[in-house]
Structure 1
Amino acid sequence: MNRSPAIRRRTSFAVLVLVVLAGTGWYVAAQVRQARAEHAAPTQVEMAEGVLDGPHVLFRGTAPGDLYGRVAAVALDDLSGPREVTPAVCDRVDSDGETTVCLRTRRGVVTTYEAEVLDAAWRTTASWPLPGMPSRTRLSPDGLVATTSFVTGHSYAATGFSTETTVHGADGADVSGNLEDFTLLADGKRLAPVDRNVWGVTFVDARYFYATVQSRSEGRTWLVRGDLAERTLVTLLDGVECPSLSPDGTRLAFKHDARKPGDVTPHWTPAVLDLATMTVTVLDAEQRSVDDQIAWLDDVTLLYGLPRADEPGTTDVWSLTADGTADPAVAIPQAWSPSVVE
């Protein structure tokens, strides 16, 4: 029995769809197998023991292979040298040598996020859930832990992102609640924008801190000085994001939105604020957009992470002089989220 042309066309189309689906399934399966093999392959980095016993920089390793995401350290006087790798796996990390805060993603049927406090032996001493993707963390000299998570969105360049920033004790106790609930004072007047976001805490001591507050309805992004005792955020300056206090306490490094008129996407350039004069120095020796909370290597050098354009998932930690007189240079290859431990 001859089939009609319409039936033959439908049959041929169905066969074609099955062939395409089979080919697509094979390709996806092959890519998954390749990704797993690459993840299981030995990470090609030079390693050493004893680095953690002296002054060092702790960071998240991003070299491909089985050590990807593991926290590691390089000697403070040999940043590009061999690294000691720890058991901890973190997205973001900060440490004073005795206590380490680790923000991590736990992937599974349901992906969850958490903050962990680790002791010098890398044992978990406290932990609490995070409401979304980890973004920023800082550990105070007095054992306080600040964390920022994306509740919606996954980038500060995105429209409509929302964050939650909190301060906990090293024992996991909630100290602040959501910093968005603090009283916001701008030019002495109380503001209560419903769309405010707070992120990028850097501690002065156990009471005071600096952070960023943004309100899209107000069209403002402020540097604020926070007070944990009074539960206030007092605005100091516009246009300061992700501040980081210098070791001598006199300056803040931050990312400055240097986009040109008409540009929609932010272009963040490192900058330094002198707290005594409130003078800003934009470090335009760095021409790339730096979406990171800058760390201070010492009183004259900044550290920050940048992704490699040609290697997805791999990042490097770069250095730049705080006065912008030298060009940026790779400080720690295949690294992210640096923390100086002296």
Structure 2
Amino acid sequence: MSAPPTHRRRTAFAVLTVVVLAATGWFVTTEVLRARAEQAAPSAVEQAEGVLAGPHVLFRGTAPGDLYGRVSAVALDDLSGPREVTPVVCDRVDSDGDTTVCLHTRRGVVTTYEAEVLDGAWQTTASWPLPGIPSRTRLSPDGLVATTAFVSGHSYASTGFSTETTVHRADGSDMSGNLEDFTLVVDGERIAPVDRNVWGVTFADERTFYATVQSQSLGRTWLVRGDLADRTLVTLLDGVECPSLSPDGTRLAFKHDAREPGTATPHWTPAVLDLDTMAITVLDTEERNVDDQITWLDDTTLLYGLPRADEPGTTDVWALPADGATDPVVAIPQAWSPSVVRG
């Protein structure tokens, strides 16, 4: 006697489900094994010893393979040359040569995030937890460490992002708390929008810094001058994001929102602000979207990271003249988060 039609359909569905689950399991296992093999494969980068002993640029390596994510260095006078690779893995890095700040992700059953301060031997001297995904860090000449993490949202282009930015001493002691708790002064008036976010700190001295403050409810994004002693954020200009102070202290490089009117998604273009005249030069020879905190190579050249469109996970550090006179060029291939150490 043949099985009823309903029973046959159920049996066929059960067999199909088993086949689909088996195929899915095979695919997932294959992809995991492939990814592990790629991570274990030797990275195709030229290495050299002694680079860290002289002036150099420190960065996060993004060449595929076993060195992916490792902090590396190239000589300041040979940016595309061989690199010295350290044992440290970071998402973001900044350094003065003697002290290095590393923001990184610790993956596990529960993923956590951490800031570490490292000495010249790459040993941890201080650490503290971050509340979310690492985004920005800057080390001051006086040993202060600024960190920004996404508490929610993964991009400054998202409408619902929230950040936490703090300043610590290099020994790990917290001296600022969340910069959102500082007094915000706009056009001489104290305001306290509940949705304000602060990010992109760049230090001028042991108490003064520049940063970005945004309130989405007010539709405003400001450049602010911060004072760690007075715990104030005083607005200077609208529309300045992720400022970076030049070595001579006279200009700020930043990302300028150059989107077309009526466009929802930001398009960030490098720009330079003269702090004496408050004149802005937009460097539109760079036509791509630069979502990074720009670094000064020297007083005439900017560095920033850009992802490769055809190689997920791989980025390059590009160089652009601070006057926008010529087109950008690749400075350090397969790199991210550059930090200039002049020695």
- TM class by shorter chain equals over 0.9
Equivalent in the alignment of 1:146: 146
SS of the counterpart of 2:291?
A: coil
The residue aligned with 1:131 is 131
- Cα distance in 1 for residues equivalent to 2:94 and 2:111: 23
Identical pairs, percent: 82
* Unpaired stretches in structure 1, ≥5 consecutive residues: none
Code of the aligned partner of 1:169 = R
**Aligned residue number for residue 271 of structure 2:** 271
Give the corresponding residue for 1:57.
57
Question: What is the SS of the residue equivalent to 1:313?
Answer: coil
Give the alignment's Cα RMSD to 1 decimal. 0.5
| Cα displacement string for residues 255-314 of structure 1 (whole angstroms, at most 9, x for unaligned residues) | 001110111111000000000000000000000000000000000000000000110000
How many matched pairs?
342
1:99 corresponding residue in structure 2: 99
> TM (normalized to structure 1)?
1.00
Task: Give the equivalent residue in structure 1 for 2:67.
Answer: 67
Q: What SS does the aligned partner of 1:286 have?
A: coil
Which stretches of structure 1, 4 residues or longer, exceed 2 Å deviation after superposition? none
Give structure 2 stretches of 5+ with no counterpart.
none
Amino acid at match of 2:132: G
CA distance in 1, matches of 2:75, 2:270: 25
1:296 alignment counterpart = 296
Paired residue type of 1:64? P
Paired with 2:97 and 2:205, the residues of 1 have a C-alpha distance of 18
- Counterpart of 2:156 in structure 1 is 156
C-alpha displacement at 1:38, in angstroms?
A: 0.3
CA–CA distance in structure 2, aligned partners of residues 218 and 189 of structure 1: 15
Alignment of 1:177-256 (within 5 A): 177-256=177-256
Q: In the alignment, residue 160 of structure 1 is paired with which amino acid?
A: G
SS at match of 1:180: helix
In structure 2, what is the Cα distance between the partners aligned to 1:99 and 1:135?
A: 19
Q: In the TM superposition, what is the alpha-carbon distance from 1:56 to its structure 2 partner?
A: 0.2
Deviations 1:15-48 (A, max 9, x none): 1111011101100100000000000111110000
Determine the structure 2 residue equivalent to 1:116.
116
Instruction: For residue 329 of structure 1, report the CA deviation from its aligned partner.
Output: 0.4
Partner AA of 1:183 in structure 2: T
Correspondence 1:67-86 to 2 at 5 A: 67-86=67-86
Instruction: Please list the CA deviations of residues 144-198 of structure 1 after superposition, one character each: whole Å capped at 9, or x if unmatched.
Output: 0000000001100111100000000000000100000000000000010000000
Length-normalised TM-score, structure 2: 0.99
Q: Distance in 2 between matches of 1:77 and 1:229?
A: 38
Cα distance between partner residues in 2 of 1:259 and 1:22 = 47
- In 2, the alpha carbon distance for the partners of 1:262 and 1:10 equals 53
CA distance in 1, matches of 2:81, 2:247: 24
- What is the letter of the counterpart of residue 235 of structure 2? T
In structure 2, C-alpha distance between the alignment counterparts of 1:275 and 1:175, rounded to whole Å? 27
Query: What is the DSSP-based 3-state SS (H/G/I as helix, E as strand, rest coil) of the residue aligned with 1:58?
Result: strand
